[in-house]
A and B are shown apart, each in its own frame.
Chain A
Amino acid sequence: MGVDLQYFIEGLTTAFHPMNILWVLIGGFLGTVVGMLPGLGPATAVAVLIPITFGMDPTSALILMAAIYYGAMYGGSRSSILLNTPGDGSAIAATFDGYPMTRNGQAGQALTISAIASLIGGIFAIIGFILLAKPLASFALRFGPAEYFMLFLFTLSAIVSLSKGNMVKGFIAMSIGLMLSTVGIDLQTGVHRFTFGIPQLSEGIDFLVVIIGVYAVGEVLYNYLNLDRLQNKNKLGKIGITREQWKRSKWPIIRNGPIGFLIGVLPGAGGSIASMLSYTTERQLSKHPEEFGKGAVEGVAAPESSNNAASVGSFIPLLTMGIPGSGTTAVILGAVIMLGMRPGPLLFEESPEMVWTLVNSMFLGNILLVAINVLLIGLLVKILSTPPRILYPLILVLAFIGTYTLSYSIIDFYVLVIFGIFGLFMKLLKFPIAPLILAVIVGSDMEQNFRKSLVAHDNLSSILFASPVTIVLLILTVLSVSYPFILSAIQKKRANKSA
Chain B
Amino acid sequence: MEQNDHFALSCPIPISQYPHVLLAHGGGGRLMHQLIGKMFLAAFRNPLLETQHDATVVELAGKKLAFTTDSYVVRPLFFPGGDVGSMAVHGTVNDLAMSGARPVYLSAAFIIEEGLPMETLWKVVCSMQQAAQRCGVQIITGDTKVVDKGKGDGVFINTAGIGVVEHDQKIAPQNVRPGDGVLVSGDLGRHGMAIMAVREGLQFESAIESDSAPVQDIVLALLKAGIEIHCLRDLTRGGLASALNEIAEASRVRIGIEEKSIPVREDVHAACEMLGLDPLHVACEGRFIALVAAKDVERALLVMRGQGTGAGSAVIGRVAESSAPLVTLKSAIGVSRILDMPSGEQLPRIC
Q: Do A and B come from one complex?
A: no
Chain B residues in the interface with A (C-beta under 8 A): none
